[in-house]
Structure 1
């Protein structure tokens, strides 16, 4: 596969009010080029809506019907992030047709880590189908939910990205990558082909 542009979106659990947007050219295994990036702030009304959704999630705790505010917040954040991507592409001179996919993390409003006794649970807000219609670009989304349901800790892309980054640097087993966010993740080569990755905790 020839390298193509991929756009990554992230809004952390800390709710700092920014949409992180980054572009890379990749063949899916190796990073061919680190492209432009920017922080795009949410409008205040979207920030307030997300904060309200998080408070509703903390009261809900995966018990009973979902809070009604989730649907409103999901639509608002999806459209806001789509608008931010459209502006980013125009500003950076990247045609939408040159973008193979957008990775849309969405927004974590509630996350329960797995334990030995039970699988974890998570609730992410983000409508990838809506964003795909909005931008006319394929959107990959809801990574965390599928990973948690499969018994993971909810960060399935971190290890793949770290592996691609380490390969691009010709790094070996002596190298590890630590991602510090709302939850920390550590990735390292277990051998020449496999990556060991796990959460380190808040």
Structure 2
């Protein structure tokens, strides 16, 4: 019998929604992948809600409603898979859109906000929805992120071998799968977010296709050194970050000291920032790393992949497609898997990843 779940992911790149229909009856098998871009006005509003502004509660709620329309569209596309009956699908795992991430701050607990209206999604799709995966981890003293390392272990680990899984979305995060079964995961720093914003500003394109623009530039060593001096990079795991820190104001504050810099050279430097941050964490926290499996949009950036390989000479750097899951399906599949864990009441022990006090069931259930 099939064991079907849908996973929906919209990450810090804020470019749209990726969804998968996954069968867990024998390992993990993605039966269908679908995606949809954000309408321009929704993307602009989600970006704006990353910083304080007027009437945020009202705007955030309406943005959550609009986001669920895109989620519902992707769900309908997935349910159009030939031979699939909606009654066979147990639930949707819906990540929502992170607009603030401040764990352990202010009062010792802090918070993380993923805009979503899971009740509305359940109403529109007729399916049970599991959402709000991060809040329980934060309540238990954790960072609330990253959550995917447990899934990475289930899919990508090899006995007796240290394997890394590097997700490069808007923010980059690294999972270290050790030979003894220990799992560690944390956010490295910027992924595509700063590169995409700079590309859009100077070329009008949403991203640097295959990293070709960056590949033709020259890295600015003083700008790179200034950005790498950010204290976050020196923090020990568990640690997590987002657009709260690595945003345009942060970047422009550094760039303001290099007013004569050419845009293409700046892009080359931003790509190098992502590569150095990720490779540096791999060197520090994954000694003996044999394979680095890269997923997320960054895996489609040929220049970035080549820079990672050059910085990690003794490690095979490969796309997750070569390990069984295409790069844009991994995170969505992870949230389908997390939804399944929640419905089954299975606790996840993320102490070594998020720093939570112990194993917890993650997610809130909204029945069909």
TM-score (norm 1): 0.79
Q: Does 1:89 align with 2:79?
A: yes
Q: Which has the higher contact order (CA 8 A, sep 6+)?
A: 2
* Separation (CA, whole Å) in 2 of partners of 1:4 and 1:187: 26
Q: Is the 8 A contact 2:34 2:74 kept in 1?
A: no
What is the aligned counterpart of 2:125 among 125, 128, 135?
A: 135
* Separation (CA, whole Å) in 1 of partners of 2:160 and 2:92: 29
Q: Deviations over 1:84-108 (max 9, x none)?
A: 2112211454221121221100111
Change (3 A) 1:77 1:177: same
* 3-state secondary structure, aligned to 1:12: coil
* 3-state secondary structure, aligned to 2:74: helix
Q: Does 1:33 align with 2:26?
A: no
Q: Deviations over 1:19-67 (max 9, x none)?
A: 101222115xx7342322122223x2xx41342243144025xxx9843
After superposition, residues 26-65 of structure 1 pair within 5 angstroms as: 26=24, 31-42=27-38, 44=39, 47-60=40-53
After superposition, residues 1-202 of structure 1 pair within 5 angstroms as: 4-16=3-15, 18-26=16-24, 31-42=27-38, 44=39, 47-60=40-53, 66-112=56-102, 114=104, 118-155=108-145, 157-167=147-157, 170-190=158-178, 192-202=180-190
* 3-state secondary structure, aligned to 1:143: coil
| RMSD, matched Cα | 2.8
* Separation (CA, whole Å) in 1 of partners of 2:173 and 2:56: 29
Residue aligning to 2:289: none
Structure 1: give runs of 5+ residues left out of the alignment. Answer: none
Change (3 A) 1:22 1:88: same
Change (3 A) 1:80 1:10: same
Change (3 A) 1:194 1:97: farther
* 3-state secondary structure, aligned to 2:142: coil
* Separation (CA, whole Å) in 1 of partners of 2:55 and 2:5: 36
- Which protein is bigger by CA-based radius of gyration? 2
Residue aligning to 2:243: none
Q: Is the 8 A contact 2:159 2:179 kept in 1?
A: no
* Separation (CA, whole Å) in 2 of partners of 1:186 and 1:56: 26
Q: Which has the higher helix share?
A: 2
* Separation (CA, whole Å) in 2 of partners of 1:191 and 1:128: 38
